[in-house]
């Protein structure tokens, strides 16, 4: 039952937001009493935390699989973006922004975990890109991996990029192209242009 509640709550939170969805909504959606939910989760905050970590673990596993396949580094970052968007329901409800606003402690813990996973993945991507002659050999990997994480996080700021003006999918595509163009060699730019043309 715990797994069933977790999966259902994940779906509702990602579609409608952590703030909007109530424990009544979850119990009604599942056709169970709130008492049953509280047997597994002490309160809404503990459920939000469990959902956040559940989504994080699922996405981390998927990102690791993509990274382990050792694809072309440029194709890899777009594949990761596609995978993350599918698992976050295209961020219709801006879940990360709501988490930061209404559950700051959970957000801080999650952000730290995200940083650790992304640092390893991005550094590996940058090193392989340099080895393959796709990225410039003189780039500062430590700086770029950190600025990459910060920029990806800031894109989810609903005040800076309101979802009624910016599609998250388009924002990420624009940022990834901006990122790759800034670090690529001529060979890398040819690879990027070919990849973008094939996507359109």
- Has residue 102 been placed in a domain? yes
- Has residue 47 been placed in a domain? no
CATH of the domain at 75: 1.10.357.10
- Has residue 19 been placed in a domain? no
User: Residues 42-50: what's their mean pLDDT?
Assistant: 97
- Has residue 27 been placed in a domain? no
- Has residue 127 been placed in a domain? yes
Q: How many CB atoms lie within 10 A of CB 191?
A: 21
Residue 193 pLDDT class (50, 70, 90 cuts): very high
Following CA atoms 134, 138, 173, 118 in sequence, which dihedral angle do they give, to the nearest 10 degrees? 100
Q: How many CB atoms lie within 10 A of CB 199?
A: 9
Domain count, the chain: 1
Contact in structure between 98 and 17 (CB atoms under 8 Å): yes
Q: Report how many helices (DSSP H) and strands (DSSP E) the chain contains, helices first.
A: 10, 0
Q: Bigger pLDDT: 114 or 97?
A: 114
CA contacts within 13 A on the Cβ side of 44 = 15
* Full residue range of the structural domain in which residue 157 is found: 52-199
- Has residue 9 been placed in a domain? no
- Has residue 15 been placed in a domain? no
pLDDT digits (tens, 9 = 90+) for 75-85: 999 999 999 88
Burial state string for 149-178 with b = 16 or more CB within 10 A and e = fewer than 16? beebeebbebeebebeeeebeebbbebbbe
Q: What is the largest CA-CA distance in the chain?
A: 61
In whole angstroms, what is the distance from residue 141 CA to residue 121 CA? 12
Q: What rounded mean pLDDT belongs to the chain? A: 91
Contacts (Cβ under 8 Å, ≥6 apart) of 187: 133, 134
Contact in structure between 183 and 177 (CB atoms under 8 Å): no
User: Residues 88-115: what's their mean pLDDT?
Assistant: 83
Q: Bigger pLDDT: 98 or 183?
A: 183
């Amino acid at each position: 039952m715990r797994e069933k509640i977790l999966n259902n709550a994940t779906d509702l939170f990602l579609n409608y937001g952590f703030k909007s969805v109530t424990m009544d909504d979850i119990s009604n959606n599942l056709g169970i009493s709130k008492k049953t939910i509280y047997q597994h989760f002490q309160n809404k905050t503990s459920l939000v935390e469990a959902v956040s970590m559940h989504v994080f673990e699922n996405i981390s596993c998927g990102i690791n699989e993509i990274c382990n396949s050792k694809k072309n580094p440029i194709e890899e970052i777009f594949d990761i973006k596609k995978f993350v968007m599918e698992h976050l329901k295209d961020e219709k409800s801006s879940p990360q922004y709501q988490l930061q606003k209404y559950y700051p402690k959970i957000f801080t813990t999650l952000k730290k975990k995200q940083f650790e996973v992304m640092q390893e993945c991005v550094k590996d991507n940058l090193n392989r890109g340099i080895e393959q002659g796709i990225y410039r050999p003189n780039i500062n990997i430590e700086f770029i991996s950190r600025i990459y994480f910060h920029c990806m996080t800031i894109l989810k700021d609903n005040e800076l990029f309101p979802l009624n003006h910016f599609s998250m999918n388009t924002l990420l595509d624009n940022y990834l192209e901006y990122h790759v163009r800034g670090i690529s060699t001529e060979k890398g730019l040819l690879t990027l242009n070919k990849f973008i043309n094939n996507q359109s």
